[in-house]
Structures are given as structure tokens and as C-alpha cells.
Structure 1
Amino acid sequence: MISYLKTKELTQQQLFELYEDVGWTAYTKDIEQLQQAVQHSLSVITAWKKNELVGLIRVIGDGLTIIYIQDILVKKEVQNQGIGFELMQQILLEYQTVRQKVLLTEEAPAIRHFYEKCGFTSADKGDTVAFVNLS
């Protein structure tokens, strides 16, 4: 059974294990910075299997006019069980009055399908344009 908890109080080890499991190693190169980023996020909802952190979604923004879904990740062993969808639904409910809900992710059919199922429209299919500066 998976339980969900709104918390920013996560150990470096818990974060390291989750982010490493999904291959987000750019974050784990500076685990202290990742922990601080999580603690400074607007909102963090976590998914737990017993005492193991298996999922997380975190949001940055002002919480009134815009939120940016910075991270949503679920450990490989429990993917495709609705955990990511539930994390997203909880965040969208928490910020239902916010007009702009934004995220940036890589392109892949399964990823596109997941976000469309969550109610998002790709910028290439809507009236918006996306820009990014990766320098």
C-alpha cells in the first residue's frame, strides 16, 4: 500500500536513493544542494511504501498565479501503478486556482501520454511557445 505525505523533511539518503533509482544523477552530484532545493520548494508531496520513499513531486513558483512542476519521479519498481498520477492529482488539486501550471520534460511517447492524461497540453499543440536557456 502506498501512502502520501506532504513534507519537505527528507534525508539526503532518501533523496539520493530516489533520484539515483530513476537516473537523475545530475541532482545527486550535489545531494546537499538537492536537499536544500526540496526544502525551499513551494510544495512537496511524497509517496511511501512502508518507510521507503518511492515517489515525489515538487513545485516552485508563487502559488497564486504560476506554479512550475520541477520534479515528479517514482522509483522504477513501483512505476505504472498510478503513483505518479496520484502525486500529480494532489498537486493540481492543491493549486487548482492557479492559472499557469508549467513543466518541462524530455520527449518520449510514454511521457507525453502521461502528461496529457494529467490534463496538460504540449506547447507545440497549443497557443503557447516554450523557450529555454540551458547556459
Structure 2
Amino acid sequence: MGFVFKEEKLIEKDALKSLYEDVEWFAYTKDLDQLAEALTHSLYVLSAWDNDELIGLVRVVGDGLTIIYIQDLLVLNSRQNQGIASELIRRVLDRYRDVRQKVLLTEESSDVRHFYEKNGFQSCDQGNLVAFAKLG
């Protein structure tokens, strides 16, 4: 791997802006102060770096004992399909292996579904689970 992982919640706003805008998560970059503060209030933040370039990030919220919620998982478009997102998820799941509920909410697409299922997640539209969300 030509990159390193860092457990750091304080990430420069310009680096966050570049990453989030590259994957077109513009709702987050409308208020960079709020995004930076959200990271500091997160339970856990793990980022991937290639020298000084932020190339990936996962952010976890929750209590860390009974539930974690994977809030953000993003990798620069040019660095996708290199195992970075899978390694970020693997490290989160390893860190919180004793937590019973590991939850995330994402948009539906075949590649997204394949990625999460490949990494051990089960869609709530299958089996005995149900999910509800109130957005906005």
C-alpha cells in the first residue's frame, strides 16, 4: 500500500473539502466549520493519506459499547478499487468487534450493495430487520 492510516479527528478543512467534493458530497462542504466540528464530536475517525493528501476517511458515531453507526465512508474517485475503503471498514469492524449493532445508511446502487455485502453487512430489506430514517 502506498498510503498510511491515521486516527486523528483534527483534519484541515481544505483536505476535507477536497475529499468530500471529489465524491460529490456537497451537502457536507456547504459548512466546513460544521463538518470539522462533526469530526471532533465523532466516536472515531480513521483517515487514509498518501503523503499529505487525504485520500479516504471513515467516521463512526455511537456509544462504542452497544452500537456504532458508520456515518461516512469515502475515498477519492481516483483511488477507488484499491482496497482503501475495505481496509477502513475492516479496521472499524475490528476495533468495535464486540459491539452488537453496527449500522450504516447509504444510497442504493449495485456497486454500493456489493461493497457492503462483501464486507459482511446485510441489507435491511432482506431477513428479519427493518430500518427507518427521518431525514431533514
| Same fold flag (TM > 0.5) | yes
Distance (whole Å) between structure 2 residues aligned to residue 126 and residue 86 of structure 1: 27
Does 2:12 align with 1:11? yes
Percent identity over the alignment is 56
5+ residue gaps, structure 2: none
Distance (whole Å) between structure 2 residues aligned to residue 119 and residue 48 of structure 1: 25
Tell me the TM-score normalized by structure 1: 0.98
User: Match for residue 59 of structure 1?
Assistant: 60
5+ residue gaps, structure 1: none
Output aligned runs, 1:26-41, within 5 Å: 26-41=27-42
Output aligned runs, 1:70-85, within 5 Å: 70-85=71-86
Deviating runs (4+, > 4 A) in structure 1? none
Aligned positions, number: 135
User: Match for residue 22 of structure 1?
Assistant: 23
Provide, for residues 55-113 of structure 1, a one-character-per-residue CA deviation record: whole Å limited to 9, x for no partner: 00000000000000000000011000000000000000000000000000000000000
In the TM superposition, residue 134 of structure 1 has moved relative to its aligned partner by: 1.4
Of 124-133 and 100-109, more deviation after overlay is shown by 124-133
Tell me the secondary structure at the aligned position of residue 71 of structure 1: strand
In the TM superposition, residue 50 of structure 1 has moved relative to its aligned partner by: 1.1
Distance (whole Å) between structure 2 residues aligned to residue 29 and residue 113 of structure 1: 30
Cα RMSD of the aligned pairs, angstroms, is: 0.6
Distance (whole Å) between structure 2 residues aligned to residue 76 and residue 114 of structure 1: 15
